[in-house]
Amino acid sequence: MEFSAIVMLIFACVVILGGLFITINKAKKSEEEKINSGEEKDREEDKEITEEKVEEEDKEITEEKVEEENKSEEEN
């Protein structure tokens, strides 16, 4: 094979395979980021839900306690 043909072969391989490598890698990274950001969002949402639940539970417990205390005071 002549030198100029080999040069064109290398040129084509670099452009095509290089282009494929870069673009596929970029797509992979962005998909991973999307999944990660999705997971983070889920985690944040879970956290918010848990915090809200704890707050509600605390509130309920406090209210119950107050009610019980009031009741016992009335009985006394």
Partner 1 sequence: MKRERWGNRTAFILAAIGSAAGLGNAIRFPYIAYSNGGGAFLIPYFVAILTAGLPLLVMEFSVGQKYQGGAPVALGRVKKGFQYFGWWQVVVAFIIVTYYVTIMGWFWDYLYASFTVAWGNDSWGYFANNVLQLSDSPGNLGGFSIPVLIGLALTWISIYFILRKGTKSVGKVIGFTVGAPFVLLFILILRAVTLPGAMEGLNYFLKPDFSALLGIKVWIEAYTQVFYSLSVAMAIMYAYASYMPEDSDITNNALIIVFADTCVSFMSGLAIFGTLGYMAQDAGVPIADVARGGLGLAFEVFPNAINMLPGGTFVVALFGIVFFLTMLTLGIDSAFSLVEATIAGVADKWGKDKYRTTVGVILAAALISLLYATKAGLYWVDLVDHYINSYALIMAGIMETIAIGYFYRTESIREYFNSVSEIKFGKWWTFMIKILPIILFVLLVRYFVEDIKVPYEGYAAIYQWLGGWGLIIVVGVLALVLTKIKSRYNALDADKAS
Q: CA-CA distance, 54 to 50, in Å (whole number)?
A: 6
Nearest approach, Cβ of residue 21 and partner 1 (Å): 9
Nearer to partner 1, 11 or 42 (CB): 11
Phi, psi of 2 (to 5 degrees): -75, 155
**To which residue do tokens 């406090």 refer?**
62
Which of 14, 17, 49, 61 binds partner 1 (CB under 8 A)? It is 17
Residue ranges binding partner 1 (CB under 8 A): 1-2, 4-9, 11-12, 15-17, 19-20, 23-24, 26-27, 30-31
